[in-house]
Structure 1
Amino acid sequence: MAASGESVRDVLAGNLRRARLELGLSLSELSRRSRIGKATLSQLEAGAGNPTIETVFSLSRALEVPISDLLDRQEPSGLTVVRAGDVEVLRGEGVDLRPLRGIVSGGALFEVYDQQVRAGRRQDSLGHVGTEHTIVQAGRLAVRVDGRDTELGPGDYIAFDAGLPHAYTALDGTVRSVLLLQYDAGRRLHFGAAEPPHRDDTP
C-alpha cells in the first residue's frame, strides 16, 4: 500500500500508467472498459485527479488486476505496525477504506483493509476481480450479492466472488469491519524497473 508520506493520488498516478502500458491499452480503450472518462483518466495518471473507491475498483475491474497493483504495497518485514493516522482514507458513496497491508501466502495475495460503512449509507459495486471476505466488528450490515440479501452482526463473516455485483448497507449507525480481498498471486502485474515504451494513444 502507499508508503507513509506518499498520497494515494501520487501512487495511483504512477501505477495506473505502468499497468495500462504493460497491458498495451490506450487511454481510450481503458476509458471504454472502465466507464471512466478519458479526461479523468488522464488527470489520474498526471496525479491531478481525486480517486474514490468507485474509481479504484472500476480500474481494478477493467485492468483485471488486484487493488494493490494500483495502490502499491509495503514489502513484508519482521514487524509491521500501521497507525490509523498514517493511512490515507479512500472514500466512496457509503464506505471509508483504509488500506493496511498486502500479504502474499501460498500462491494467494491478500489485501487487508479497515472498512467503515457510514450510517444509513449504501455502497454499490459492479464487481471486480478476486474473492471478498468481510468480518463485522460493530454494527449491523446488510450485504447484497447478485440479488441475494444477508444481514450480519458483530463477529459474523461473509465471503463471495467479488466479480458478482454487490452492495453494503449500514443498518443501525456506522458499521466497523475488516475487509480482505483475496487474489491468485499469479494475477499480479510485474512492473519492471523501466517504464514500457510510450504507446500512441489512438482510439
Structure 2
Amino acid sequence: MTSQRAGQVLGVNLRERREALGISLSELARRSGIAKGTLSQLESGSGNPTIETVFSLSNALDVPVSSLLTEQADPDVVVVRSADLEVLSGEAVDLRLLRRIEHGGAVVEVYDQRVRPGVVQESAGHPGFEHTAVVTGTLRVTVHGRVHEIGPGDYVRFRAGTPHQYAAVDGEVRSVLLLEHPAE
C-alpha cells in the first residue's frame, strides 16, 4: 500500500469509528490529546501520523491499531510486500503492520518491528498484550521497572497497559511484534 493509500485507509477507518461512537472531532481531540486540525487532516487522508498519534487514537477509540490501518477485506490468500507498507516511526521504533487477524472476537496485529540504536522508545501503555520475538540484535524491554534483554530467537510477553520501553542494546534490532487484543 502506498503512503497516500495508507493515509486514505486511516482516514476512512478513523471517521467510521468516530461516527460509530457518535463523537465529534472536538471530543476525539479531547480524548486523544491530538489537535482537532490534525484529526481533520487525518480523516481527510492528508495527514502523516506517527506511532504515538496512531496509538493515542487507538486508545481514545478503544480499538486495536490495525482497526485504523487496514482495509476491511479478507481474501483467501494474503501476500504482504514490505515495499508496499506504510512505516509508522517513533523515537526509536519503526513499525510496519503486516496483518490484522481476527479470531473468536480477539484481534492480533502482526508487525515488522525495527528498533534503532541510541534512543529509547517510550510507551505510556495501551490495551492488550505485547508479544515480541527478536530476529536479530539484542532488545532491552523495560516493564514495571524491570529490565529484560532478549536476543535472536528469544521471546517476551507482557500486559501492554502499563508504561514500557524498548531500546536496542547494540545495533539495530529486527523483531516481530504481535499486539494481542483479547475478546471481551
**Do both share a fold (TM > 0.5)?**
yes
- 1:163 is aligned to 161
Change (3 A) 1:73 1:149: farther
Corresponding letter in the other structure for 1:155: G
Corresponding letter in the other structure for 1:111: E
2:57 equivalent to 1:55: no
Query: Paired residue for 1:101, among 94, 99, 102?
Result: 99
Cα distance per residue 1:159-183 (max 9 Å; x no partner): 1111111111111010000000111
- Equivalent pair of 2:129/2:179 in contact (CA under 8 Å): yes
**Alpha-carbon deviation of 1:146?**
2.9
Cα distance per residue 1:114-140 (max 9 Å; x no partner): 000012222111111111110011101
Query: Paired residue for 1:90, among 65, 88, 91?
Result: 88
Corresponding letter in the other structure for 2:28: L
- Spell out the pairing of 1:29-48 with structure 2 (5 A cutoff): 29-48=27-46
Number of residue pairs aligned between Structure 1 and Structure 2: 184
- 1:153 is aligned to 151
- SS of the counterpart of 2:108? strand
Corresponding letter in the other structure for 2:100: G
Between 1 and 2, higher relative CO (CA 8 Å, sep ≥ 6) is seen in 1
Root mean square deviation of aligned Cα:
1.8
Q: Larger deviation: 45-54 or 170-179?
A: 45-54
- 1:129 is aligned to 127
| Structure 1 CA distance for aligned equivalents of residues 3 and 55 of structure 2 | 23
Any gaps of 5 or more consecutive residues in structure 1? 187-203
Say which one has the larger Rg.
1
- Equivalent pair of 1:20/1:63 in contact (CA under 8 Å): yes
Any gaps of 5 or more consecutive residues in structure 2? none
More helix by share: 2
| Structure 2 CA distance for aligned equivalents of residues 185 and 7 of structure 1 | 29
Cα distance per residue 1:134-165 (max 9 Å; x no partner): 00111011111132221111111111111111
What TM-score comes out, normalization by structure 1 length? 0.84
What TM-score comes out, normalization by structure 2 length? 0.92
| Structure 1 CA distance for aligned equivalents of residues 122 and 44 of structure 2 | 27
